[in-house]
Amino acid sequence: MKTQHIVLSLLFVVFASFSVNAQKKTDPLVKKETFKVWGECGMCKKTIEKAAKDSGATAASWDVDSKKLTVSYSTAKSSNEKIQQAIAAAGYDTRDLTADDAAYDKLHECCKYDRKAAAAKAAEKEAQKESNHHH
């Protein structure tokens, strides 16, 4: 009987610690998201990540090749919108927002990326060429 009690209480301790861990991992307040941010180089990376962190992201990592930013933040302290606004204010177009023109003009020469609108126009032209070609 005694052994059974010990086994049961050990099991209880194990299960209790599992559920504490599970709660930590699925904290509903912490979100991790990835979205596109236009940019050009390593300097942009620093500016973009800093803007994200200044607006409440606990982690921010921008990839220069894919131009994707991955952020983690607590919904109690920040939001996806807030982070994108901070990045746009720093001069970078984001998935949902267009950067402040004055901020874009102030960017370093090497950071003057092809803007979202310009890229969209170029793609449109390219598509027109394609369709003309087929006529």
Residue 44 lies near Cu ion (rule: CB under 5 A): yes
- C-alpha dihedral, 55 to 38 to 115 to 125, nearest 10°: -140
Q: Which amino acid is at 52?
A: A
Residue 64 lies near Cu ion (rule: CB under 5 A): no
Q: How many residues bind Cu ion (CB under 5 A)?
A: 5
Binding to Cu ion (CB under 5 A): which residues in 79-118? 111
The minimum distance between CB 40 and Cu ion, in angstroms, equals 4
Instruction: Please give the Cα distance from 83 to 100 (Å, whole number).
Output: 14
The minimum distance between CB 55 and Cu ion, in angstroms, equals 19
**Neighbouring C-beta atoms of residue 73, cutoff 10 Å:** 24
The minimum distance between CB 126 and Cu ion, in angstroms, equals 25
Instruction: Please give the Cα distance from 116 to 94 (Å, whole number).
Output: 8
- For residues 11 and 41, which CB has a smaller minimum distance to Cu ion in the complex? 41
Residue 69 lies near Cu ion (rule: CB under 5 A): no
* Terminal Cα-to-Cα distance of the chain (whole angstroms): 88
Binding positions for Cu ion, rule: CB under 5 A: 40-41, 43-44, 111
